[in-house]
Amino acid sequence: MQNSSGRKALQVLFQKEFSLFIATRFILIFSLFLQNTVVSYKLYTLTKNPLSLGLIGLFEVIPAFACAFFAGYVVDRREKRGMYLLCILGYVLNALLFLYITSTYFADRYSITTVEYLIYAGMFISGFIRAFLAPSSFSLLPLLVNKEDLSFAITWSSTSWMLGSVLGPLVGGILLAKYGITSSILMAFLLLCLSSIFILSIKRKPIQYMKDIGIIKGLAQGFRFVFRNQIILAVLSLDLFAVLFGGAEALLPVVSTEILKVGEVGYGWLRSAHGIGALFLLLILTYIPLKKQVGKKLLVCVALYGICILLFGLSTSFLISFSMLFFAGLFDGVSVVIRHSILQINTPDQLKGRVSSINMMFISSSNELGAFESGFTARFLGTVPSIVFGGLMTCAVVISTYFFAPKLKNLHTLEAENIEET
């Protein structure tokens, strides 16, 4: 049975348009993580203030959160491949901005404060683009494979994202150490251009949204769908607060330079550790999918994620720190698969853009809010207490979810019929 699942997974991967989508997604995520890694490191070397790392996240999350509902509504009414392409082109232009403001030419003519503020501006633009990218990707995916292959497609999509998130920071750290920030961002820019060529190779898709009911009612539909499903709401809420309080990885520039003292390459490895762990788990789940006691497994894994973050905060060893981030990523991968599977399998095609936007507001935005929370608490409590606090709070969130969301705790499988409305 496992061998059969493995063969089926590979067959799905090698479907032409889906493989192009996976290649595009990998290159895009790789480029963005590479770019954000070197930009964050650059900013901290300029300011020496952990709060600035939190502000990066805050400036990215504001437009992503504010535009999410509208973006989902727009994506549901537009052709999905075209929307995905527009998002990539937006990132291409934004990379040019980062390339300019982090160059020696710019630094020689303007103050550190100007560079800092323009980095925040670039992250703000990135957040605006992401508001449209998430629902575009989420809505395009099921149009590329047969419905019966969707679970495999979700896993491959998550795997490509994780692989990009692993290699992007790692390569970014190496490039930063050997060639400097300008060459690193130039690499990201060129790869973003390549991803736009890949997505153009996918044919335009029919628009699934048929009835025009107005923007207010359209947005309300997405909200009702999510908030009337206890399991969907519980999964999103669990990830929201777990990531919010477990956002210690935003402090990696501080940890790598002041506590572990490992330099740019070590920083790149630490940034990649979470993704390596998640990628390892996703590859396993490609061949051995989650089948039974899904809810309990999710809660246990999120709790273990919090414990790993706590131990990471207490570590003064590079090896232990890397290991804790690796296992944190591994346990987090379970949550990623369950959440994406529940949403894709149970969301009607005409609602996917809006539901994906709500998911982004809950999850993606929590990454940046978590970065701000970590930077803020580190500024006043110190780096180590901030990380330990985040790990403890993540465990507390799991305990609360266990008692207040019994349907999630008792969720047995990921089949659609198991997700009932309240």
Helices 50-76/16-47 angle, 10° precision:
150
- Summarised one tens digit per residue, pLDDT across range 143-188 is 898 877 877 787 788 788 878 877 888 888 888 888 888 889 999 9
Token couple for 377: 């608490």
pLDDT confidence of residue 169: 82
Tell me which residue of 254, 420, 390 sits closest to 311, measured CA to CA.
390
Residue 2 has pLDDT above 60, yes or no: no
pLDDT confidence of residue 422: 40
Share the mean pLDDT of the chain. Answer: 82
Residues whose CB is less than 8 angstroms from the CB of residue 48 and which lie 6 or more positions away in sequence, other chains included: none
CA distance 395 to 238: 11
Domain ranges of the chain: 2-418
DSSP H helices in 213-293 = 215-227, 230-245, 252-254, 263-287
Tell me which residue of 176, 321, 325, 329 sits closest to 259, measured CA to CA.
321
pLDDT confidence of residue 6: 65
Token couple for 401: 């979810």
Residue 215 has pLDDT above 80, yes or no: no
**Where does 2-418 sit in CATH, by number?**
1.20.1250.20
CA distance 398 to 394: 7
Residue 354 has pLDDT above 90, yes or no: no
The neighbour count for residue 220, using CB atoms within 10 Å, is: 14
- Summarised one tens digit per residue, pLDDT across range 70-99 is 887 788 788 889 999 999 999 999 999 999
Reported pTM: 0.73
CA distance 13 to 96: 32
Q: How confident is the model at residue 421 (pLDDT cuts 50, 70, 90)?
A: very low
Token couple for 55: 């502000």
**Mean per-residue pLDDT for 128-141?**
88
CA distance 108 to 313: 37
- Summarised one tens digit per residue, pLDDT across range 19-39 is 999 999 999 999 999 998 888
111: number of CA atoms within 13 Å, CB side?
A: 3
Token couple for 264: 């740019």
CA distance 194 to 362: 30
Paired with 229 in beta bridges are: 421
* Backbone φ and ψ of 229, nearest 5°: -115, 105
Q: How far is CA 59 from the centre of its chain?
A: 16
